[in-house]
Structure 1
Amino acid sequence: MYQKQYLRLLYSGLTTQQIYKLINQFPNFFTINNSKQTSALRGFLTTTKINNYHKPLQKFISLDDSDIAQHLYQSQVSTISIDHTAYPQILKEITDPPFILFYRGQRDLLHNIQTIAIVGSRKASAYTTKVLQNLYPAFKNHGLTVVSGLAKGADHIAHQLALDYRIPTIAVLAFGHLVHYPKETLCTRKTMEQIGVVISEYPPFQPVRKYHFAQRNRLISGLAKGLFITESTIKSGTQITVDCALDQNRDVYVAPGDMFNVLTQGNMYMAQQGAKVVLSAKDILIDYMEN
């Protein structure tokens, strides 16, 4: 319903969280005329003390819907707005779902309801591969879809093996579609853009920003019914995704750990905090069959 206006705000430089704050301050923002929208946005940007607030304001004033549409076409990026029937219902359950999903690939995969997020260390060992090779045949037989973040290490292994086993897989980027990081996962991403789906909440031109990765993690867990950790250290970015999953009332699973292995000490800590230790695929699938 408001897709063009969502896009205009995002292309102006506002984040998903800032748009929520704007709507909270001006609940009728999307139903007022352009002049009043400009005044409302000026007031919001001023009162929230956003640095260089005049830049997003000027972009909002000057942006044309047709220019945005042309840019998306040239970027070979499609969009789904939060009020569209194609938007994944499970993602609407989280606190701050993106107003727009920018994507390349098979949109229908976003309708799959039997989804599991798989994350772990960027320094993942052969243990991650062995664990997933053990689980994936059962995941395939039960129609699960794998969600991850296309980072190097565990994320990359999760996507690669999903492709090998012909399991549907969804990647969530922490930047726009015209950018890629890290280079090690680019080939896998290109394959996923053909037979999987790659999504982002950021416009195609958005560069890599460190804080985007933490924001991205809430979408990885938000798109899934459960989160599985293959390997993690005590202090790692994986814990951010676990916190997101818990806030979203998702189940958290961990592979068994070796107390002498730094890469699985985080797994054991999460198990102490209540995560379910997975000894076979049944430990996960029993929860999926019950729902």
Structure 2
Amino acid sequence: MNDKHYLRLRFSGLSTTQIYQLLNFAPTFMLANELEQRSILQQFLTTLKSKNKENIYQLFEKFDLVQLQQQLQAWHINYITIDQHTYPPLLREIHNPPFILFYRGNLNVIKSPQTLAIIGSRKATDYTWHTLQQFFPSFKKHNLTIVSGLAYGADKMAHQFALFYKMPTIAVLGFGHLNHYPQSTQNVRNKIEATGIVISEYIPNAKPYKYHFPERNRIISGLSRGVFITEATEKSGTCITTNCALEQNREVYVLPGPIFNKMTEGNLRSAQEGAKIIRSVEDILEDYI
């Protein structure tokens, strides 16, 4: 198993992308012995434009798996790696899937094949709320698992409806489990950790850096058979998820809206790019039968 190597590289400070670069640089890295791995890593670090090269190597040298596992246990944080059978099969299909997923909650939730991501603007209006209010009884009837990103607005509404209807829900963080953003969704997150699952590709103390959220969005769509966009401005982060979903060959659903409404400009753009315009909940559910 490569679990130890994945953990060691992530906690040394290498990102998921950098680990892929390392494995392209040295395809035999995982099979190498300790001394060979150190030598390979030193050579690889010379190719990176990073100010943390020295620190990465030092952390790699000092890595203690037993100590780390004890610390994760104290934080009530578990993990799965891409080599394990419990890793979500849909996520494994995407380009450069995360090697490790850290989680709190019920791991069985991510085994569902009936996953639907629901995303939208942080400034989502009553249009989102009323649509979800109408659609969720049917989502419940068809045993869907709801995926979203715990942001304020549409994400929060999606998780709230899932919790209300006692449906499984997956929250994907753009930071480590020891942090939270925004604070307005902390209570929702606590409830999801008790009944659903909260996952992150970032090590537990990773802060919510701006560049993390586009990376997180590829996981939201990657976990899902389809992505439902309720409202999105033309340049919103939601459109990043839409692009990820289309690249991952996921079905994308969007609510229609007037051309003069900024809150649905992104929806119309997505429709032009291949998203399916939704007139009723059946337009989504026909793909889940």
Q: What's the TM-score bracket when you normalise by the shorter of the two chains?
A: over 0.9
Matches of 2:118 and 2:41, distance apart in 1: 39
- Deviation string 1:198-257 (CA, Å, 9 cap, x unpaired) is 000011111111100000000000000111100011111111001100110001100121
Matches of 2:266 and 2:98, distance apart in 1: 30
Matches of 1:20 and 1:121, distance apart in 2: 32
Q: Which amino acid aligns with 2:11?
A: Y
Structure 1: which 5+ residue stretches go unaligned? none
Matched residue of 1:274: which SS? coil
Query: Which range moved further: 75-84 or 45-54?
Result: 45-54
Matches of 1:194 and 1:231, distance apart in 2: 29
- Deviation string 1:53-89 (CA, Å, 9 cap, x unpaired) is 0111100001111121122111110000111111111
Matches of 2:257 and 2:162, distance apart in 1: 23
- Deviation string 1:4-55 (CA, Å, 9 cap, x unpaired) is 1101111111111100110111111111111111111111111223222011
- Deviation string 1:137-196 (CA, Å, 9 cap, x unpaired) is 111111111100001111111101110111210000000000000000000000000101
Matched residue of 2:203: which SS? coil
Partner of 1:111: 111
Q: Which amino acid aligns with 2:12?
A: S
Partner of 2:38: 38
Q: Which amino acid aligns with 1:200?
A: S
Query: Which range moved further: 44-53 or 204-213?
Result: 44-53
Whether 1:244 and 2:244 are equivalent positions in the alignment is yes
State the identity as a percent.
54
Q: Which amino acid aligns with 2:134?
A: N
Matches of 2:181 and 2:74, distance apart in 1: 21
Q: Which amino acid aligns with 2:8?
A: R
Partner of 2:212: 212
Matches of 1:211 and 1:277, distance apart in 2: 29
Matches of 1:48 and 1:274, distance apart in 2: 37
Q: Which amino acid aligns with 1:286?
A: E
Matches of 1:84 and 1:30, distance apart in 2: 16
Structural mapping, 1:54-93, within 5 Å: 54-93=54-93
Partner of 1:6: 6
- Deviation string 1:108-148 (CA, Å, 9 cap, x unpaired) is 01100010111100101111111111111111111111100
Q: Which amino acid aligns with 2:36?
A: K
Query: Which range moved further: 212-221 or 25-34?
Result: 25-34
Q: How many residues align?
A: 289
Q: Which amino acid aligns with 1:122?
A: R
**Which consecutive segments of 4 or more residues in structure 1 shift more than 4 A?**
none
Partner of 1:285: 285
Partner of 1:144: 144
Structural mapping, 1:86-101, within 5 Å: 86-101=86-101
Partner of 1:27: 27
Matched residue of 2:287: which SS? helix
Instruction: Report the alpha carbon displacement of residue 261 of structure 1 after superposing the two structures with TM.
Output: 2.0
Partner of 1:235: 235
TM-score normalised by the chain length of structure 1: 0.97
Matched residue of 1:50: which SS? coil
Q: Which amino acid aligns with 2:22?
A: L
Structure 2: which 5+ residue stretches go unaligned? none
Matches of 2:40 and 2:50, distance apart in 1: 14
Matched residue of 1:288: which SS? coil
Instruction: Report the alpha carbon displacement of residue 273 of structure 1 after superposing the two structures with TM.
Output: 2.5
